[in-house]
Structure 1
Amino acid sequence: MREVNPKLKAYLKEFNATVAELVAAGFKPNATNAREGLANLTKTFITNVPDVALIQDDIVPAEGYQVPVRIYNPAPEEELPVLIYYHGGGGMAGSVTVYDPICRKIALATRHIVIAPEYRLAPECPYPAGVNDAYATLKGAFGVLAARQMKFKRELSIAGDSGGGALCGSVSGLAQFDASIEIKKQFMIYPSVDYTMDSGSMVENSVGYLLQASKIAWYFDSYFKNGECRKAASPLYGDFTKRLPATYVVTAEFCPLRDEGRDYCEKVAAAGVPAFHVNMDGMIHTFMNMEDLVEEECAFVYDKMSEFLNS
């Protein structure tokens, strides 16, 4: 019998009751309350915010938009490899500020210089603005660090959760045909890689587990504003060649995106690229932003990220 982790049950019960009350009172989703919801969740349930030796803000120059980034360097005296982390939020929510504690933990756990871009969000800036910013960050990462005279290895990996996992899939898909870029590895946490919403888990986990299928559809309607082919935009249906980076995908049992993450990993493996997948039993989407409730599970993911990126 499938069962949500007991550490999440009380929260989910309260959350679902609150949502029902809000809907009955006439609640309508918009960009503001979507952003507040993720920000408040993260602030409430990640209360351990560690110090990092060096944190600096900068800008990646790019055509049409200068991408703000935050750099987390856990050991400035050493030449460390570089990791770009794309935050989650469905292409509409999340920010460098909201994900600051997660980026700190990643930098410390992996001993990588973490670069977190403030990519543009829908609905103000719909697809492909976020993808363009994510790719610009990929191309400009070394230049920003060199301009700061920061020590680093010319070794670049990417990671992201949810909508940030989607950006990983999009930029690694583009980079496999760009000889100027080499991505060593990508680590994706419950990634959104199928904009068609066509999977068994999208039905099985559609209601009651924090991220609901109806909310995903609303995110995508806000993200795609110009009649784009959503299947063509989906990393799951893109090209898979041996130029893709080694890939590690974390999915959650009660997440609507579970099956597409697994299927993406299988396609990477079928292309002859090392690919690894772990499904977190009893977990829901966004559990990494709920660390105080599921500390062991979050620690497991940070450990796996470190192990994978440094192997």
Structure 2
Amino acid sequence: MDKQVSHKLQPFLSEVNRLIAQAKADNIIPTPEMVRTNLDNLAQFNTRIPEISYSRDKLIPGQQAEVPVRVYSPAPDEHLPVVIYFHGGGHMCGSVDLYDAMCRKLALAGHSIVISVDYPLAPEHPFPEGIHACWSVLSHYREILTEVAFTPELIIAGDSAGGSICTVLAMQNQVEKKVNINKQILIYPCVDYTMAMPSITDNGRGYLLEREKIAWYFDHYFQQGENRKHYSPLHGLITRDLPQTLIFTAEFDPLRDEGLAYIKALEQAGVEVSHHHFDEMIHAFINIEDLVPEECQLLYQKAGQFIRG
């Protein structure tokens, strides 16, 4: 029997697909501002924002400019592990504000500090500016944790493009050893900028994240004719020095196959990998938790167990 997208998502996807078709019929050319607004609009489907003991905005010194972050702790007086979270959005969209609910839930599920990073976005800040800013956060995060107790354990986490950032940082850290990254959590990560995997085509229309939009994101992110395969973590250096990894994939996600391929590559290199696959889900489902609460609750539960384990 063929797999089907969750019935809980079908009305939402019908409306999304109607709007996409209407925009194409009206010959609307997307702009960064328009796409950012569209992603921000998903916040209407993520309305459960739990209370947390500590939440503060901070600035971390960067190479070109200070990097805004938001720090969460469920127990500021307890020494807790630190999770640095990089949000999704195709390297062009998303923000600390949009991901406020998700980072609160992750901090509570993992009983950990979460530092959510407002890294600079393309096209105004193309590759590798965002990566440099994220390195600054990894290098200096301890300096801003003056009001919360923490342990030396460092976990990096992210969804989609944020998962890509995690894998790029971890890949570079194998060679440069700038910091000690203990674990990484990748939620439907982007790890292959060549767009060569079958699921890019198979799931590239009708499931929120469209193949054309992925290509558009990448064209704005890579502006200097970079060799995209060279900068794809899936095709880069993968050794047993990479951190213990938890990966979530979704069946109706264009990025599904590259996530599965990355798992296989990590396992072959001797990295400890945990994997959970959501059979009926689409890309970005944590952004629409009100529609799929049980699935999101399971994701946070498994991520929390991984952080605490």
> Does structure 2 conserve the Cα–Cα contact (< 8 Å) formed by 1:55 and 1:70?
yes
1:47 aligns with 2:47: yes
1:35 aligns with 2:33: no
For residues 74 and 37 of structure 2, what CA distance do their matches in structure 1 show? Answer: 29
| 3-state SS, counterpart of residue 282 of structure 2 | coil
Q: Who is 1:189 aligned against?
A: 187
For residues 14 and 46 of structure 1, what CA distance do their matches in structure 2 show? Answer: 17
- Number of residue pairs matched by the alignment: 308
Q: Who is 1:85 aligned against?
A: 85
CA RMSD of aligned residues (A): 1.0
Q: Who is 1:73 aligned against?
A: 73
Q: 1:190 to 1:241 in 2, by over 3 A?
A: same
Q: Who is 2:272 aligned against?
A: 274
Q: Who is 1:3 aligned against?
A: 4
| 3-state SS, counterpart of residue 177 of structure 1 | helix
> Does structure 2 conserve the Cα–Cα contact (< 8 Å) formed by 1:254 and 1:284?
yes
Post-superposition CA distance 1:114-158 (Å, at most 9, x none)? 00111000000000011111121111112221xx25311011001
Q: Who is 1:111 aligned against?
A: 111
1:117-196 aligned within 5 A: 117-145=117-145, 148-196=146-194
The residue identity in structure 1 corresponding to 2:30 is P
The residue identity in structure 1 corresponding to 2:216 is W
Q: With the length of structure 2 as denominator, give the TM-score of the two structures.
A: 0.98
Q: Who is 1:19 aligned against?
A: 20
> Does structure 2 conserve the Cα–Cα contact (< 8 Å) formed by 1:110 and 1:306?
yes
Q: Shift of residue 279 of structure 1? A: 1.6
For residues 228 and 181 of structure 2, what CA distance do their matches in structure 1 show? Answer: 25
| 3-state SS, counterpart of residue 262 of structure 2 | helix
Quick one: which of 200, 203, 208 aligns to 2:201?
203
1:257 aligns with 2:255: yes
For residues 158 and 265 of structure 1, what CA distance do their matches in structure 2 show? Answer: 17
> Does structure 2 conserve the Cα–Cα contact (< 8 Å) formed by 1:172 and 1:244?
yes
> Does structure 2 conserve the Cα–Cα contact (< 8 Å) formed by 1:246 and 1:275?
yes
For residues 139 and 61 of structure 1, what CA distance do their matches in structure 2 show? Answer: 10
The residue identity in structure 2 corresponding to 1:224 is F
Q: Shift of residue 89 of structure 1? A: 0.1
Unaligned runs of 5+ in 2: none
For residues 57 and 64 of structure 1, what CA distance do their matches in structure 2 show? Answer: 19
For residues 19 and 64 of structure 1, what CA distance do their matches in structure 2 show? Answer: 37
For residues 29 and 15 of structure 2, what CA distance do their matches in structure 1 show? Answer: 19
1:210-229 aligned within 5 A: 210-229=208-227
For residues 166 and 250 of structure 2, what CA distance do their matches in structure 1 show? Answer: 18
For residues 177 and 252 of structure 2, what CA distance do their matches in structure 1 show? Answer: 39
Post-superposition CA distance 1:170-203 (Å, at most 9, x none)? 0011112233411111010010110000101111
Q: With the length of structure 1 as denominator, give the TM-score of the two structures.
A: 0.97
For residues 50 and 80 of structure 2, what CA distance do their matches in structure 1 show? Answer: 19
Post-superposition CA distance 1:213-246 (Å, at most 9, x none)? 1100000001000111101111111111121100
> Does structure 2 conserve the Cα–Cα contact (< 8 Å) formed by 1:160 and 1:167?
yes
For residues 4 and 205 of structure 1, what CA distance do their matches in structure 2 show? Answer: 11
The share of aligned pairs that are identical, in percent, is 46
Q: Who is 1:288 aligned against?
A: 286
Post-superposition CA distance 1:69-111 (Å, at most 9, x none)? 1101110010000000000000000000111111111111111
Q: Shift of residue 58 of structure 1? A: 1.1
The residue identity in structure 2 corresponding to 1:4 is V
> Does structure 1 conserve the Cα–Cα contact (< 8 Å) formed by 2:83 and 2:114?
yes
> Does structure 2 conserve the Cα–Cα contact (< 8 Å) formed by 1:248 and 1:265?
no
> Does structure 2 conserve the Cα–Cα contact (< 8 Å) formed by 1:255 and 1:285?
yes
> Does structure 2 conserve the Cα–Cα contact (< 8 Å) formed by 1:266 and 1:275?
no
Q: Shift of residue 278 of structure 1? A: 1.8
For residues 298 and 214 of structure 1, what CA distance do their matches in structure 2 show? Answer: 27
